[in-house]
Structure 1
Amino acid sequence: MEPGTLLAGRYRLDRPIDSGAMGAVWRARDERLDRDVAVKILLPGLDGAGERFEREAKTLASLKGPNYVEVYDYGEELDGDRTVQFLAMELVEGVSLARLLAREERLDPDRTMRIIAEAADALGAAHRRKVVHRDVKPANLLIDADDRVRVVDFGISLLVDRSRLTDSKEVLGTVPYVSPERLRNQDVTGSSDLYSLGAVAYECLAGTPPFPARDPMAVIHSHLYEEPPALPDSVPAPVASVVARSLRKAPDERWESGEQLAEACRAAVTGEIPIPPPEAPGVPAAPVDPEEPGKGRRRRMALVAAAVVLAAAVFGIVAWSPWTGDGPQGGEDESTVEAAAHTSEAVETTASPDPTPSGSASESPDAEESEAAGGTEDGGSEGDSGETSGGGATEEEDADEPKSGTTELPDVTGRTTFDARDYLEGLGFGNVVADVGYYAITPEPAHCTVVQQFPSAGSTVDYADQVTLSYHSRNAEGTSCEW
């Protein structure tokens, strides 16, 4: 297409202003209605993309709201011996978030949360219509002249109730922002978009995506197995907590909806308590404001009252009990006292006037009270020693302890996953896992052959570090390469 080309007898192309995965976007003039518009034209040479492009037009036309781009028209035009498909849309005067970040490097937390909240609202509305974007990234978030966020480019979106237009093994999206379930070729829901939006938020705050390695395979491995580095200290804890929950590996541990994420973003800015996250290890929970009125204070008072009643009841039993603790009755009474002590300790911590916000990456996945109570880093209270207290390890247990310290990781590519595992475990590595990769190699490797390893050979690692063996699978073999 050239400047001056007239499409459908009304759209006069002016100049190209952007390009995406499937099309080039032109500034154009609608000569019939005498207004400026944006015209997206399907790029030539994209076999089979026409149906997907038409779907994008219908998807955008179905989405209404201030955070979308309005669709005006869709059509086809003959250009020589080929048919050109085009989409006429509202012309948004503004800048993409990608260009804004390129110019400013990072954004302040308040502005970041506002942008993410507006994008989350738009995605949440799309998800309610069972439309998953699947390519949320800074380039697809526009900041218009009124400083309002517009979500654009639904070109690879998925209508959940309809058949896919892509091969089931094709991974679509942009690697720095793609969700773990997308990489594993699992079912895609709106939660995948929220993970990607969390990665965008992280980049806004840190100036780089969560996993910025140049090697795409290293980025993929990080999305699957690693936690992102901590955000800068200048990022307030409530904001960091919102981003951390968005980036959880398991979809059901993230925000339940775009609307809930948007609410949490706005609450984090005002200093209110974000919506409590589900229990999950390795991710900081939202910090609790000790001065927050309402439910939190009433709940703490109820817990304190319950603990006082329980402690008084147990104390009364112990005071007049004739049992010495030698028989079965004594054992039962002892366990009751221990439970009461733990309950009292948890409530006392909850009611503390100055709870320390959680920031540890090793929080307990157990009870909600444990997280709210601000227990120790291993998820229990200091008195919760249970099986680990009162006795040291035997000599036999000492002999079986895994190696500690660091060493150089050997090269195990070319071996089968089982041979590589046995070899590494024989050297003292205690955390070896296998994960299928997607490799097109000629000649094709044998079934279960390790093609890549993470960390790479020669890396200095700890014996306890996870070593992932990425292997080639021949589907016809039908046997598992994992354990």
Structure 2
Amino acid sequence: MTPNENPDAELQRAQAVLGGDRYRIERLLGRGGMSTVWLAEDTGTGRLVAVKLLNRDLSGDPEFRERFRNEARAAQSVSSPNVVDFHSYDDQPPERGGGCYIVMEYIRGESLADVLRRRSTLPEHLALDVLEQTAHGLSAIHAANLIHRDIKPGNLLVTPEGTVKITDFGIAKAAEAVPLTRTGMVVGTAQYVSPEQAQGRQVTPATDVYSLGCVAYEMASGRRPFQGDTTVAVALAHISKPPPQLPQTVHPHIRELIGIMLRKDPERRYADGRELARAVLQ
């Protein structure tokens, strides 16, 4: 939304991008630096969907359009009960307004970030359940030769039934792909970024394992493993500092899992989501 734009005008503009036939927008769900997410009804099926729309001021930028297109490709290639379902993608030419949008499964519930803001920590059986389900979702992502690169509580949605769904493939990439960002640029969220991401090095599925380890640490202790006054300070801590010891009240199995997930050397972590899921169940 532009600074003085009426919310109704923003909704009407989003509806104009989608057209009036297939999807009818109901309300705004969320807003990010690159896109807005809307709740809409699929008039063909009657089901509710989430529509992620590339911001208008970015729709003319070829790099951002390519990132959005890559997000759609990544989401389309993964199928798992623990990953938000992809429905469709439309990339309009400039003569049709140039809008880009992704239609996804709408998840009733809240993010893990919302849960942790309310509860601080999770009981150990629930923390292990979140960890296992997310590992299964990562297993499907990694099996598709993708790396999510931004696992954090805000990107883990929890349904009322307790199912965990990984969302937001905005910076996911193929394991062997040349990144769109320039060499050495840190991609990810600083509080959950792996040492190799913080150094701009090659990432592997073990990168997602590390980020999930940061989430697990937070679920168990009520705090993130590394904090600092700036994102740079936090990223440097991920590179060089050991995480503070977890409270002795945390179960030894959980302490061991998190300790392995947060190893600085990716070769010494669980290799991918599948290996982590097996370890959680041991």
Per the normalisation by structure 2, the TM-score is: 0.89
Q: Write out aligned runs for 1:18-167 (5 A).
A: 18-46=30-58, 47=61, 48-77=63-92, 82-167=97-182
Off by >6 Å, runs of 4+ in structure 1 = 78-81
Tell me if structure 2 keeps the 8 A contact 1:21–1:155.
no
Looking at structure 2, the residues matched to 107 and 80 of structure 1 have their Cα atoms a distance apart, in angstroms, of 51
Tell me if structure 2 keeps the 8 A contact 1:2–1:13.
no
Looking at structure 2, the residues matched to 155 and 240 of structure 1 have their Cα atoms a distance apart, in angstroms, of 31
**SS in structure 2 opposite 1:69?**
coil
**In structure 2, which of residues 8, 11, 21 is the aligned counterpart of residue 3 of structure 1?**
11
Tell me if structure 1 keeps the 8 A contact 2:205–2:272.
yes
Tell me if structure 1 keeps the 8 A contact 2:40–2:50.
yes
Tell me if structure 2 keeps the 8 A contact 1:10–1:31.
yes
Looking at structure 2, the residues matched to 21 and 134 of structure 1 have their Cα atoms a distance apart, in angstroms, of 17
Residue by residue over 1:161-220, the C-alpha shift from the partner in whole angstroms, topping out at 9 and shown as x without a partner, is: 332222122211000000001111111100111000000100111111100223222212
1:232 counterpart = 2:247: yes
**SS in structure 1 opposite 2:169?**
coil
Query: AA paired with 2:29?
Result: I
**SS in structure 1 opposite 2:88?**
strand
Per chain length, whose mean CA-contact separation is higher, i.e. which structure has more relative contact order (CA < 8 Å, sep 6+)? 2
Query: AA paired with 1:97?
Result: L
**SS in structure 1 opposite 2:263?**
coil
Looking at structure 2, the residues matched to 43 and 31 of structure 1 have their Cα atoms a distance apart, in angstroms, of 24
Tell me if structure 2 keeps the 8 A contact 1:30–1:36.
yes
Q: Write out aligned runs for 1:271-350 (5 A).
A: none
Looking at structure 2, the residues matched to 82 and 187 of structure 1 have their Cα atoms a distance apart, in angstroms, of 37
1:37–1:20 Cα change, 3 Å: same
1:266 counterpart = 2:274: no
1:214 counterpart = 2:229: yes
Q: State which drifts further: 256-265 or 69-78.
A: 69-78
Tell me if structure 2 keeps the 8 A contact 1:114–1:266.
no
Query: AA paired with 2:42?
Result: D
State the 1:76 CA deviation. Answer: 3.5
Query: AA paired with 2:48?
Result: D
Tell me if structure 2 keeps the 8 A contact 1:14–1:27.
yes
RMSD: 1.8
Looking at structure 2, the residues matched to 36 and 86 of structure 1 have their Cα atoms a distance apart, in angstroms, of 16
**SS in structure 1 opposite 2:219?**
helix
Query: AA paired with 1:33?
Result: T
2:187 alignment partner in structure 1:
172
Query: AA paired with 1:119?
Result: T
1:198 alignment partner in structure 2:
213
Residue by residue over 1:129-183, the C-alpha shift from the partner in whole angstroms, topping out at 9 and shown as x without a partner, is: 2100011110000011221110000110111233222212221100000000111
Looking at structure 2, the residues matched to 207 and 90 of structure 1 have their Cα atoms a distance apart, in angstroms, of 30
Q: Write out aligned runs for 1:431-442 (5 A).
A: none
Tell me if structure 2 keeps the 8 A contact 1:22–1:155.
no
**SS in structure 2 opposite 1:41?**
strand
Residue by residue over 1:340-360, the C-alpha shift from the partner in whole angstroms, topping out at 9 and shown as x without a partner, is: xxxxxxxxxxxxxxxxxxxxx
Tell me if structure 1 keeps the 8 A contact 2:184–2:199.
no
**SS in structure 1 opposite 2:243?**
coil
1:251 alignment partner in structure 2:
266
Tell me if structure 1 keeps the 8 A contact 2:184–2:201.
no
1:313 alignment partner in structure 2:
none
Structure 2's unaligned 5+ residue stretches are: 1-8
1:184–1:34 Cα change, 3 Å: same
Tell me if structure 1 keeps the 8 A contact 2:74–2:173.
no
Residue by residue over 1:423-468, the C-alpha shift from the partner in whole angstroms, topping out at 9 and shown as x without a partner, is: xxxxxxxxxxxxxxxxxxxxxxxxxxxxxxxxxxxxxxxxxxxxxx
Tell me if structure 1 keeps the 8 A contact 2:83–2:165.
yes
**SS in structure 2 opposite 1:2?**
helix
**Pair member with larger Rg:** 1
Tell me if structure 1 keeps the 8 A contact 2:52–2:103.
yes
Query: AA paired with 1:3?
Result: L
Looking at structure 2, the residues matched to 192 and 123 of structure 1 have their Cα atoms a distance apart, in angstroms, of 11
Looking at structure 2, the residues matched to 234 and 175 of structure 1 have their Cα atoms a distance apart, in angstroms, of 27
Count of matched residue positions in the alignment of Structure 1 and Structure 2? 267
State the 1:77 CA deviation. Answer: 4.9
Query: AA paired with 2:41?
Result: R
Query: AA paired with 1:163?
Result: V
Looking at structure 2, the residues matched to 231 and 20 of structure 1 have their Cα atoms a distance apart, in angstroms, of 33
Identity of aligned residues (%): 36
State the 1:21 CA deviation. Answer: 4.9
**SS in structure 1 opposite 2:70?**
helix
Structure 1's unaligned 5+ residue stretches are: 268-483
Higher helix proportion: 2
State the 1:102 CA deviation. Answer: 0.7
Residue by residue over 1:51-75, the C-alpha shift from the partner in whole angstroms, topping out at 9 and shown as x without a partner, is: 1111111111111110111111111
Tell me if structure 1 keeps the 8 A contact 2:70–2:173.
no
Residue by residue over 1:205-247, the C-alpha shift from the partner in whole angstroms, topping out at 9 and shown as x without a partner, is: 1111100223222212210111111112221111111001100
**SS in structure 2 opposite 1:154?**
coil
State the 1:124 CA deviation. Answer: 1.8
**SS in structure 1 opposite 2:260?**
helix
